[in-house]
Structure 1
Amino acid sequence: MASVNLLSTKGLSRSFGGIRAVENVDFELPEGQIRALIGPNGAGKSTFVGLLCGRIAASSGSVRFMDRDISNLPAHRRIALGMAYTFQITSVFARLSLYENVALAARRHIGGDRASVDREVASALERVGLTERTDQPAEDLSYGHQRLLEIAMGIAQHPKLLILDEPTQGLADSEIRQFNALVRELNAEATILLIEHNMDVVMEIADAITVLNFGEVLAEGEPEEIRRNKAVQAAYLGTD
């Protein structure tokens, strides 16, 4: 049976002052896949994700999610449809506790019932390994643990699509191993789009990889196919 695309773009482009940050990108993400998005700094990855999430308006092209054109929907409407995301710069509420941060996200999904929110918060924090810090202010966490808190906030929304932008930045090696296991676990519940510089992580957990360069798709394929791709080696992997 052919895979069903959860998310797709057609001719998606964005310019900033005449600079084409994303150029005519056609992209398809099948439901249930772990897709990695990689590329050199300045390749357009964060802009592309911003276009998917509705935080950046497209100059041209379209975005479809769950077989619906969402090109003109604002970010909060896309969240309501089942997107959740973390960004390269953490967006936690620094002075709120971990509980309060995750509870805010959980209420988007289940409303205000306190018992249900408590269960969602406890489950999400346990899955990212932050249970013992429930009552701490988020600002007391290391940068890496703030990234894990963001993931917990995403988990609590029970998204259909979870977008993770540089999630392992600031994590120790042991925490990265735990993260890899967590992503595989979450993939049973959500399609995952992973923007990541750590190629060990990408090669271990991604089902497929899309490579951006100068705002355009340079290559797509399974991890080993991308590893062997000469154009990708020259542009990003540092070999020839």
Structure 2
Amino acid sequence: MAAVTILETKGLTKVFGGIHANTDIDFQLPEGQVMALIGPNGAGKSTFVGMLCGRIPATAGQVIFKGEDISALPAHKRIAMGIAYTFQITSVFANLPARENVALAARRKHRLDEAGILAKVDAVLARIGLADRADQIAGDLSYGHQRLLEIAMGLVQEPELFILDEPTQGLADSEITEFVDLINGLKGSTTILLIEHNMDVVMRTAQAITVLNFGEILASGSPSEIKANAEVQAAYLGTVHAED
């Protein structure tokens, strides 16, 4: 039985002042899969994700979610359809406790009484490893813990598609290990698009990888196929390994 495609783009293009950030991207993400999106800095990853989320309008092309063309929908309507995402820069409410940050996200999605909301919140905080910091003001958390809090805010919405933009940036090694375990635990229940520079994390979590370079798809395939791809080695992986 063929996998169902939950997210698809057709000819997705973004032009800024005559410069093509993305050009004619045809992309498919099967439901229930963890896919990593990788590529060198300036490859167009953030612009592409911005168009998927509705934060950046496309110049041309389509974004299709669960068979519906959502190209014209604003970000908040895409969230309501089941897409959650985190940014490279944390977007927590710095003056509120961690628990209330997650509760605000939960109330957007779930029609439950307050006891039901808080039960969901506490379960997600425990799963993400922040239960002992639930009452701490978010702005006082370390950068790494703020990143985890943002992931909790996405998870509590029980998204059908979870887009994570550089989620391990700023995390300690122990937190990265916990993040990998979390993502692997979500396989099959939530579709995940992971934009990530840490190739160890990519290889330990992703079932498929898409490589962007100069705003276009350079290659797509399994982790082993991408690792063995000479063009990917030349454009990206060789540089990554040289920096390690």
Asked if TM exceeds 0.5, the reply is: yes
Aligned counterparts of 1:113 and 1:178: Cα–Cα separation in 2: 31
Q: Is the 8 A contact 2:33 2:188 kept in 1?
A: no
Partner of 2:18: 18
Aligned counterparts of 1:188 and 1:222: Cα–Cα separation in 2: 17
Partner of 2:149: 149
Deviation at 1:187, TM superposition (A): 2.2
Identity %: 67
Deviation at 1:142, TM superposition (A): 1.1
Please state if 1:114 is matched with 2:117.
Answer: no
Give the letter for the 1:50 counterpart. Answer: G
Aligned counterparts of 1:124 and 1:18: Cα–Cα separation in 2: 44
Aligned counterparts of 1:2 and 1:220: Cα–Cα separation in 2: 18
Aligned counterparts of 1:107 and 1:39: Cα–Cα separation in 2: 35
Q: Is the 8 A contact 1:110 1:116 kept in 2?
A: no
Q: How does 1:180-199 map to 2 (within 5 A)?
A: 180-199=180-199
Alignment TM-score, normalising by the size of structure 2: 0.96
**After superposition, what is the alpha-carbon deviation per residue over 1:178-222, rounded to whole angstroms, capped at 9, x for unaligned?**
100100112232100000000000011100000000100000000
Runs ≥4 in structure 1, deviation > 3 angstroms?
A: none
Alignment TM-score, normalising by the size of structure 1: 0.98
**After superposition, what is the alpha-carbon deviation per residue over 1:17-45, rounded to whole angstroms, capped at 9, x for unaligned?**
11111111000000010000000001000
**SS at structure 1 position matched to 2:12:** strand
Instruction: Say how many residue pairs are matched.
Output: 240
Task: Please say which of residues 183-192 and 153-162 is displaced more in the overlay.
Answer: 183-192
Structure 2: gaps spanning 5 or more residues: none
**After superposition, what is the alpha-carbon deviation per residue over 1:82-133, rounded to whole angstroms, capped at 9, x for unaligned?**
0000010111111111011000100111135201110111011111100011
Partner of 1:6: 6
Q: Is the 8 A contact 1:125 1:134 kept in 2?
A: yes
**SS at structure 1 position matched to 2:148:** helix
Q: Is the 8 A contact 2:44 2:214 kept in 1?
A: yes
Structure 1: gaps spanning 5 or more residues: none
Q: How does 1:190-229 map to 2 (within 5 A)?
A: 190-229=190-229
